[in-house]
Amino acid sequence: MLAIVRAMRSTDYIQAQRIRTRAVRYFLSALTRADVIATPTTPITASQIEERSLPEGKSDVSQVIEVMRFVNPANLSGLPAITVPAGYDGTGMPIGLQLMARPWEENSLLRLAYAIDGVVERRKPTIHFDLLPELGRA
């Protein structure tokens, strides 16, 4: 990803700012008719970690770009957004719901996220490591 950034020219940056300005206008227009914009956080749930990736990890830029496509608009526009748990897929992997709002409407997002959080079931993952088992104990 650093190689991609190094290849950018100043004209690319100017064009990106134009696209950003246009995106903000579109979102603000949509938000005159709705309090929030709701999207999936990601288009897919997490995939299994391959055994060979465990020692050093894995980086797949094309997969990262695909997975981030719903959160990129919030990042690009700078509009407030929050992600909340929204349930589980058929294999038990968590599903996230992203909510976006108008500038300075973080209070609305937090209230809505709190309400959603209160009704969504929570499950421990099949593989779970309690990293802080003694937290809060003397």
36 versus 130: the higher-pLDDT residue is 36
With a pLDDT cut of 90, the percent of the chain lying above it is 45
For the segment 2-54, what is each residue's pLDDT rounded down to a tens digit?
777 788 888 988 998 999 999 999 999 999 999 999 999 988 887 777 777 77
How high is the pLDDT of residue 92? 84
Torsion of CA 49, 53, 55, 61, to 10 degrees: -110
Task: Please give the angle made by the CA atoms of 86, 31 and 35, to the nearest 5 degrees.
Answer: 50
For the residues 97-126, what does the mean pLDDT come to?
Answer: 91
With a pLDDT cut of 70, the percent of the chain lying above it is 96
Phi and psi angles of residue 127, each rounded to the nearest 5 degrees, phi first: -100, 115
pTM of structure? 0.75
How high is the pLDDT of residue 138? 47
